[in-house]
């Protein structure tokens, strides 16, 4: 691609690098100089324009962006029409945005002319949300450069959405003297609000004393009609031998992970009975504000694997906004 000042009498077919406004004529950046436009510019006294001119091995910005976006788009992702060298990619289902980071990094390393930007991985999205964008920086790129970017992707459909599933969520709340019924009701409302965008639903919630035996019995009763089990403890879990993990193990479950490098959310417990996930919710999950519980629950509802190694990897970016109402804030008030 050639770029620079072009004499007006040689400008037919050139792509304007900057907008031109003169004598009632308005041309935008990226507009092509036609014969009629050239004459009008010349009549207005314009002697040259700053413009790009494509050469034989160039591919225009819109065509290049469209071809790359089409290869990036995986399941539940659609590409919009290209404009000014850009193609936006949109979710076609409510779910979690998934990205092949290595493949996208390889594409972005090919040449500065080609860029791909995405949402953070595992971001919850709704149908119609933008999840990624492809932008060709100059007005064109070489065919060989685009081919290298496509080769860098390999077979990866690097942008996808894992749709939420309409699962049944069984909930047990444990109770200690002094825990108000209004707190449990507020907790359930917050959980229902979290589930609303996903299509999942609560089965009849259960409340039992904060006792391993009582909790084990409640889990056994809820298990047949639930796809996921969630326990809200009257008191936070403090050890793998505490009431909630002890009840889960008595129920036949296995503890996958206690504690996560996400705050608020540190005291989350992840467990399972067979393939059925069980989440011991941290106290901050009573709040509607984003916390580590959201990150784990959303993966479960989207069918995205979440194990101890996945939770260990959540630390970078895991410092979330403080929840003012939690009993032990990061910065105690004087």
CATH 3.90.1170.30 residue spans of the chain: 58-163
Q: pLDDT tier at 327 (50, 70, 90 boundaries)? A: low
- Distance, C-alpha 186 to centroid of its chain: 27
| Burial environment of residue 229 by CB neighbours within 10 A (0 to 12, 13 to 18, 19 or more) | buried
Q: pLDDT tier at 333 (50, 70, 90 boundaries)? A: low
Domain 168-312, second-level architecture: 3-Layer(aba) Sandwich (3.40)
pLDDT tens, 63-110? Answer: 999 999 999 999 999 999 999 999 999 999 999 999 999 999 999 999
Mean pLDDT (the chain, rounded): 95
Strand ranges, E, within 73-218 = 77-79, 86-91, 95-99, 114-118, 124-125, 130-136, 140-142, 159-163, 168-175, 201-202, 206-209
For the chain, the first-to-last Cα distance in angstroms comes to: 64
Q: How far apart are CA 61 and CA 138, in angstroms?
A: 7
Eight-class DSSP state of 73:
B
Say what the pLDDT of residue 43 is: 87
Q: pLDDT tier at 325 (50, 70, 90 boundaries)? A: low
| Burial environment of residue 320 by CB neighbours within 10 A (0 to 12, 13 to 18, 19 or more) | middle
Look at residues 186, 173, 190 and name the one whose alpha carbon lies nearest to residue 297. Answer: 190
Q: pLDDT tier at 301 (50, 70, 90 boundaries)? A: very high
Question: What's the residue count for the chain?
Answer: 334
CATH 3.40.980.10 residue spans of the chain: 168-312
For domain 58-163, give the CATH superfamily. Pyrimidine nucleoside phosphorylase-like, C-terminal domain (3.90.1170.30)
């Amino acid at each position: 691609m050639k770029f620079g000042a072009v004499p007006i009498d040689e400008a037919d077919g050139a792509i304007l690098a900057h907008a031109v406004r003169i004598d009632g004529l308005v041309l935008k950046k990226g507009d092509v100089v036609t014969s009629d436009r050239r004459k009008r510019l010349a009549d207005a006294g314009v002697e040259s324009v700053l413009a790009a001119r494509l050469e034989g091995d160039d591919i225009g910005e819109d065509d290049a962006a469209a071809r790359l976006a089409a290869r990036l788009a995986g399941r539940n992702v659609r590409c919009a029409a290209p404009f000014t060298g850009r193609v936006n990619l949109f979710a076609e289902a409510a779910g979690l945005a998934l990205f092949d980071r290595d493949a996208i990094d390889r594409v972005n390393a090919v040449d500065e002319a080609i860029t791909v930007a995405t949402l953070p991985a595992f971001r919850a999205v709704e149908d119609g949300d933008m999840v990624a964008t492809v932008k060709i920086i100059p007005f064109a790129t070489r065919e060989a450069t685009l081919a290298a970017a496509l080769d860098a992707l390999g077979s990866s459909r690097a942008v996808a959405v894992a749709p939420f599933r309409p699962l049944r969520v069984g909930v047990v709340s444990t109770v200690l003297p002094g825990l108000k019924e209004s707190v449990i009701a507020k907790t359930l409302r917050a959980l229902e609000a979290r589930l609303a965008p996903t299509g999942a639903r609560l089965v009849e919630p259960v409340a039992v004393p904060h006792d391993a035996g009582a909790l084990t019995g409640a889990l056994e009763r809820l298990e047949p009609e639930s796809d996921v089990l969630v326990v809200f403890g009257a008191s936070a879990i403090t050890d793998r031998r505490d009431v909630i993990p002890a009840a889960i193990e008595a129920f036949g479950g296995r503890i996958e992970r206690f504690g996560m490098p996400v705050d608020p959310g540190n005291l989350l417990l992840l467990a399972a009975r067979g393939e059925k996930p069980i989440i011991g919710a941290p106290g901050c999950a009573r709040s509607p504000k984003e916390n580590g519980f959201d990150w784990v629950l959303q993966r479960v509802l989207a069918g995205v694997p979440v194990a101890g190694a996945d939770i260990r990897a959540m630390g970078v970016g895991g410092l979330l906004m403080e929840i003012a109402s939690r009993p032990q804030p990061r910065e105690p008030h004087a």
